[in-house]
A and B are shown apart, each in its own frame.
Chain A
Amino acid sequence: MNNSTPNLKPIIAIKDLKKSYGDNHVLNGFNMVLNEGENLVIMGKSGSGKSVMIKCLIGLEEYDSGTILVMGKDIRELNHEQLDELRTEVGFLFQGSSLYDSMTVRENLEFPLRRHTKKFGVIKDTTPLVMEALENVGLAQTVNLMPEELSGGMKRRIALARTLILQPSIILYDEPTTGLDPITAKEILLLMISIQKKYNTSAIIITHDVDCARMISNRMILLVDGINYAEGTFEELSISTDPKVQAFFK
């Protein structure tokens, strides 16, 4: 487990979040707080609404009711420009990496950069920023490769570099180790920890992977039937006698 103690200053707060697709009620009043510098792991079965929740959080999905405050701003009250501005502070690592496959690694990293002149000013030469992000993930040599030339683990790291290039204060990880072999998965986790230490980011990590939760979490939430069923540290939850909680640790 990650033992660094986070500040107890909320950076994301979700209150009574509800989301349905027709008769399928995915989130039934989900509540959550992410504190500054904290790694919050959210575990749940497939289809329990974990990914829907973080997509609501970043404005990719509309939600039915509830409140989402990101850095004190209610995301429903933001217009498109304000939401884009806020998104520069919130990085998102997709489950499938989602690299732009018609662009080289350099172009993938430059793409978000050249659009955010408010945050970075006009950048004439993006190379130092691109190289720094790639060196952070240990893949500086791939700068001119196309995504199709990379392995699954490398793609995940490049996607992480692309997330980091905007220097966000919050990173949302959607199943960062899914589909990777145990060694690569561990490398990605170590990378996530080192990034958190280096940039002092806060993170929400959606995962099925107990090892991932053990290594990286400061706190965990178990999402069952669309609500936060149990909450606590990894140690607290792993010794719970509740069968629904135990099912996650078996």
Chain B
Amino acid sequence: MNSIFKIVELFNVFLLEIGELSYFAGRFFKEVFKRPFEFKEFLRQCYYMGNRSLLLVAVTGFIIGLVFTLQSRPTLQEFGAVSWMPSMVSISIIREIGPIITALICAGRIGSGIGAELGSMRVTEQIDAMEVSGTNPFKYLIVTRILATTFMLPVLVFFGDCIAIFGSFLVENLKGNVSFLLYYNQVFDALEFGDLIPATIKTFFFGFAIGLVGCFKGYNCKKGTAGVGLAANSAVVYTSMLLFIIDFVAVFVTDIFYDL
């Protein structure tokens, strides 16, 4: 009986959290069109989030391209279908692997960073100090960060995809003596706008989710240093879950459009 009560209580907490997150998102949409626009801070956040994640995204993308090709090659060879490698790599990376892996990396790198930064600002009363000086901390801290993640993630995904395909080309070049031009011709031959557009649109949603959850957790951080750690940690966990849900919905919706 006790465990049933606990489950009900946990479910209540979960629903409350969803409600608060929705309210937070609603406030974002309310504030985003209000003046003054914090353009300078938005650009600063874009720089921090984009520039500082570039190396991580590049290394991960390169390794994914490399490993993906190395692992798939023997199987394709068995069926005499190695020439399909560039098409397979490009479609799978651009449609799915690139966006989701880059988003997960950014959830860890950017989401936790936002959670910890805003959390420590909350704990040290910096957010309160902004509020009492008659400024709007939500506009300055939250709106700029969510916008920055929303616009920077597609850029990072595009960059990661290019590096991953390059990693794949390196393996093909070393193992199969395929030229750069031939490889990339085959990559682009296989791609259609129907692959690119849905994949790009969903990266905006991924970016929005990373910013939203990171900001929500940090802004509502409980007092104390433990609260900051919890904010950073739960930002990553919640964002990762949300990313998979968004991905599922995106694939489902894309599928419906393809059927039409």
Contacts and interface: CB of A to CB of B under 8 A. Distances in A.
Interface of A: 55, 58-60, 84-88, 90-92, 94-96, 98-101, 111-112, 115-116, 159, 162, 166
Contact of A87 (B36, B121, B124, B132): B132
A58 B134 CA distance: 10
Contacts of A91: 132
Contacts of A60: 128, 131-132
A166 B133 contact: yes
A116 B134 CA distance: 8
A152 to B, nearest CB: 13
A60 B126 CA distance: 12
Contacts of B129: 92, 94, 98-100, 159, 162
Nearest to A115: B135
Contacts of A90: 132
A96 B130 CA distance: 14
Contacts of A99: 126, 129
A88 B134 contact: yes
Contacts of B126: 98-101
A91 B134 CA distance: 10
Interface in B129-169: 129-136
B9 interface: no
Contacts of B130: 100, 111
30 contacts: A55-B128, A60-B128, A60-B131, A60-B132, A84-B134, A85-B134, A87-B133, A88-B133, A90-B132, A91-B132, A92-B129, A92-B132, A92-B133, A94-B128, A95-B125, A98-B128, A98-B129, A99-B126, A100-B126, A100-B129, A100-B130, A101-B124, A111-B130, A112-B133, A112-B135, A115-B133, A115-B136, A116-B134, A159-B129, A166-B134
B124 A96 contact: yes
Contacts of A115: 36, 133-136
B133 A96 contact: no
Given A91-B132, A98-B128, A101-B126, 13 more contacts: A84-B134, A88-B133, A94-B129, A98-B125, A98-B126, A100-B129, A100-B130, A101-B124, A112-B135, A115-B36, A115-B136, A116-B134, A166-B133
Contacts of A94: 125, 128-129
B125 A96 contact: yes
Nearest to A95: B125
B128 A87 contact: no
Contacts of B135: 84, 111-112, 115
A16 to B, nearest CB: 24
B134 A98 contact: no
Contacts of A59: 131
Interface string B106-133: 0000000000000001001110111111
Nearest to B44: A102
